[in-house]
Chains A and B, each alone.
Chain A
């Protein structure tokens, strides 16, 4: 069966610091991978998605970037965090129909 991992589970970072969140999927090949952000009390905002290694589509221009160095690994990065980057970051995978989420990383930028 497929599983999706995200780490860390929680993170507190100062404004201006860098960020790296990692997501890995097990038990499947060539998944579509997604990064979402959910601000407190808000809906899901799609940030990036990837349909293959090295292929990244950006949905929202901002100070975040994503990379997919391996088939089942998806990384979300920032060089300098903003206060507005606080939120619940969710990684998800899909093989084209149903989509499944990782446990998320709760990021607080102070």
Chain B
């Protein structure tokens, strides 16, 4: 089982739609979580850190459910420019670990 799993998609949604991605993680030692956005042939860019209480940044909302070991990303009022691959990342916090565990990404296509 992969440490971080995501539905690869693609999710094809019309402009203005709300879309949600889930990501599950298997390592209960994971304490920090992030969502990155990666455009085609570009580097991943940090979209949001995910806090235990959940957090919102404009049209984007991230939530963490430790009991069920999943993270979600909600995008409201989708724009064409939101089309990208969204990467879920977990970072274990036990001593001596400096690695980040990446999911393989979920592709989003926002259609006009």
Contacts and interface: CB of A to CB of B under 8 A. Distances in A.
* A and B together in one complex: yes
Interface of A: 32, 34, 42-44, 46, 49, 51, 57, 59, 88, 90, 94, 96-104, 106
B30 interface: no
A101 B43 contact: yes
B21 interface: no
DSSP class of A's interface residues: helix, strand, loop or mixed? strand
A104 B43 contact: yes
Interface of B: 32, 34, 41-46, 49, 87, 89, 91, 98-100, 102-105
A40 to B, nearest CB: 10
Report the 4 A-B pairs with minimum CB-CB distance, sorted nearest first: A43-B104, A101-B43, A44-B102, A104-B43
Contact of B100 (A42, A99, A102): A99
Contacts of B102: 43-44
Contacts of B49: 97-98
